[in-house]
Structure 1
Amino acid sequence: MSSVLLGDAHGISVVDFKPFLDGSAKQDVASAILDSFKRVGFVYLINHGIPEDKIKGMFEWSKRFFDQPMEVKQLAPHPPSGTHHRGYSAPGREKVVQHLYDDKDIKDSRAKAPDVKESFECGWEENVGSPNIWLPDGVLPGFKEACMDFYSTCHETELEILRAITVGLGISEDYLVKYHDGHENQMRLLHYPSVPAEQLKDDKIVRIGAHSDFGSITLLLQDDIGGLEIEDPNTPGEFNSAPPVEGALIVNAADLMMRWSNDVIRSTVHRVRAPLNAKTVNGMVPERYSIPYFCSPERTAVVECLPGTYTADKPPKYEPISALEYIMRRLASNY
């Protein structure tokens, strides 16, 4: 397995994904990914299959979009409903919350301050329940097409990672793939404006508060600024940097995957703060761009603990639940 392990970044394994994609060392790669998911819930993948030119191009489109005047970006407004994550959200619009299931929890658990970021979100173009919200025709031509092309490319990579997870667990390679048609995924373009370093350090403002994702897995591409931190699995409340690794795709398991795996796989709380050793200019932390791609099963899927993750001595911890019921609870809590 050592040939596929390229090192680690603050305890998160850096894995060469190419031997899985070309079939030369599928089991070794799958085992390395699963081991990192078990330990910390995150893994870095090198040679992940998303072309570098497409990544560069999507970041360029993201910057072009966020450079538009506010009145232009607001032409594709995020709807008031928190269950319809599409369109543009201005800084301070969203408050990330954690594990909410009733009104009291929502009141008590909301972030103290809104997250200082702006975002644009899109999904499958033919999703009738959550239709995409684009800028009007003629405004930033080519943006919609670039987003949809990149969305499809990320979906292809998602399926390969899901295959690796099941190979690692010793079950059918397509066991998870059949639940993930890409129709319920969400791509988010994120821009974190430059902010005062002291306010960020003192938690007077927040980039993204501590949270875990709620779907199956999340793919994350980020620039070289940094700031992502994950909770130490052995010391709750203590966070470690997950620094940018050149050429890497960061993948983290989300809450539904943890439930699906009978807690064999971790869904780890993470946040975005000031990057370590950030070079400030006049006391300001530099702006940051990232592209998370949130993967969820089709909403009719019934999620029950995967074969091989339980035994007679270690029975399933969770009752079956529909993906729709679980995800709608979590989506509604963020707005």
Structure 2
Amino acid sequence: MAGTPSLPTIDFAEFGDGRSTEARVIGQKLFAACRDVGFAYLTNTSIPQDQIDGMFDWSAKLFALPMEIKMKAPHPPEGWKHRGYSGIGREQVSQLVFDPDELKAIRTGKFPDFKESFDLGNDQASTQQNDFPHFRAYTVNFYNACREFQMSKLLPALAIGMDLPNDFFHRHHENNENQLRLLHYPEAPTSVFESGEKGRIGAHTDFGTATLLFQDDCGGLEVESPSKPGEFMSVPPVSGTVLVNIGDFLMRWSNDTLKSTLHRVRAPPKRVNDSGMTMERFSIPYFMGADAEKTIECLPGCFGPDKPKKYEPINAGQYLDMRLNATY
């Protein structure tokens, strides 16, 4: 991977157990990035690079399988069931649209999301085990590595940066209600992207607490500029980093103190020897969600006489179900 960072970079090398002066500085930097931009590159996460590379290898093998094999583990109709394969066009990203007629128009509109995906949840059940041996074991290990970083470093760092107890967010993320998604954007003629016949993913925000995003070296991710609303800046893959971004749930929880930022995936710029084709792209987001049964109220320190609460308390599970079901 190559690239020049266009976002803040947070180095977790000295975080340790979260009790040191260095850990406090890391937490403060993470909080500033989440408040001002909503995105950051992370380094020294303790998720091994060879494990990340291996997950991309498994993803490529999965999506190269014949359709009849992939469809042995279809994604259920409900968006909140984080399991199984979704073919091209099955999921269509929308931004805060819940009306059935409007959603139908988006799904059949001019710019369909040209991607396929495979979702995995915390129990990793899959009917593809016999057709695709060892895939389940590898994804379980990778999921657990992401979970370990989430609980041992990321959430404690954010709590520290917000002057909350280190374990504050742990109390709301005990049930491991997370989602690992393998994404494949197939190769296609460049002309279909230029004409708008096909798209990658339109501008949207994520739904949950936060997301870890692993990119291949293709490029195409863009994030809305924090200083110029409506303008998007490229977020190139950077060797040895993982991206993190804030989700709508945490933005609401923080009374809009933290920023859930619009982002999109565009077809990458033409390259020498493309021969009129836009190369395929792979990415792997790990979505973090709060415990479904928990009802959350405005975070301490995020409201006061000069900053009244904007939102009523809400149940985490109901909020995420509402958002996810609008995408299927």
TM-score by length of 1: 0.90
d(CA) in 2 for partners of 1:139, 1:216: 34
**Alpha-carbon distance in structure 2 between the residues aligned to 1:40 and 1:277:** 28
Distance in 2, matches of 1:261 and 1:309, equals 6
Which amino acid counterpart does residue 115 of structure 2 have in structure 1? K
Provide the residue aligned with 2:178 in structure 1. 185
Structure 1 Cα separation of the partners of residues 252 and 316 of structure 2: 11
Measured at CA, do residues 279 and 82 of structure 1 come closer, stay the same or move farther in structure 2, by a change above 3 Å?
farther
Q: 1:172 aligns with which of 161, 165, 169?
A: 165
Whether the 8 Å contact between 2:4 and 2:236 is mirrored in structure 1 is no
User: How much identity, in percent, do the aligned residues show?
Assistant: 46
Once the two structures are TM-superposed, the CA of residue 146 in structure 1 deviates from its matched residue by 0.9
C-alpha offsets along residues 244-288 of structure 1, whole Å, 9 cap, x if unaligned?
111100000000010111111100011111224545521111111
Alignment counterpart, residue 224 of structure 1, candidates 217, 223, 240: 217
Per-residue displacement from partner, 1:209-254 (whole Å, max 9, x unpaired)?
Answer: 1110000000011111111001123333221111111110000000
Following the alignment from structure 2 to structure 1, what is the Cα–Cα distance between the partners of residues 231 and 320? 27
Specify which of 84, 89, 108 is matched with residue 86 of structure 2.
89
Give yes or no for contact 1:118–1:191 (8 Å, CA) kept in 2.
yes
Tell me if structure 2 keeps the 8 A contact 1:280–1:286. no
Q: Which residue of 2 aligns with 1:3?
A: none
Mapped to 2, the partners of 1:329 and 1:90 lie a distance apart of 22
Asked which structure has the greater RCO (Cα within 8 Å, sep 6+), the reply is 2
2:188 is aligned with 1:195: yes
User: What amino acid is the match of 2:299?
Assistant: L
Q: What is the CA RMSD across the aligned residues, in angstroms?
A: 1.9
Aligned partner of 1:46 in structure 2 is 43
The whole-number CA distance in structure 1 between the counterparts of 2:98 and 2:274 is: 42
* Aligned match of 2:116: 118
Identify the residue that residue 325 of structure 2 maps to in structure 1.
332
How many Å separate the matches in 1 of 2:312 and 2:77? 32
2:31 maps to amino acid: L
Distance in 2 separating the partners of 1:216 and 1:158: 11
2: CA distance, partners of 1:184 / 1:43: 23
CA distance in 2, matches of 1:37, 1:279: 37
> Which secondary structure does the structure 1 equivalent of 2:207 belong to?
coil
Aligned residue pairs total 322
CA–CA distance in structure 2, aligned partners of residues 104 and 115 of structure 1: 18
Aligned residue for 1:318, secondary structure, equals: coil
Preserved contact between residue 77 and residue 133 of structure 1 (Cα < 8 Å):
no
Q: Do the aligned residues in 1 keep the contact of 2:221 with 2:235 (CA within 8 Å)?
A: yes
Q: Which runs of 5+ in 1 are unaligned?
A: 1-6, 127-131
Residue identity opposite 1:216 in structure 2: T
* 1:26 CA drift (Å): 0.7
Query: Cα gap change, 1:280/1:274 in structure 2, threshold over 3 Å: closer, same or farther?
Result: farther
1:238 equivalent to 2:231? Answer yes
What displacement does 1:181 show? 2.4
| Mapped contact 1:94–1:114 kept (Cα < 8 A) | no
Contact 1:300–1:322 (8 Å) recurs in 2: yes
Partner SS for 1:150: helix
Q: Given the alignment of the two structures, is residue 270 of structure 1 paired with residue 263 of structure 2, yes or no?
A: yes
Letter in 1 for 2:5: A
> Which residue is 1:256 aligned to?
249
Is the 1:198–1:283 Cα contact (8 Å) retained in structure 2? yes
Code of the aligned partner of 1:9: P
**How far did 1:201 drift?**
3.1
Change (3 A) 1:214 1:278: farther
* Structure-1 separation of matches of 2:178 and 2:80: 13
Deviations 1:78-122 (A, max 9, x none): 122223231011111111011134435535655643211111111
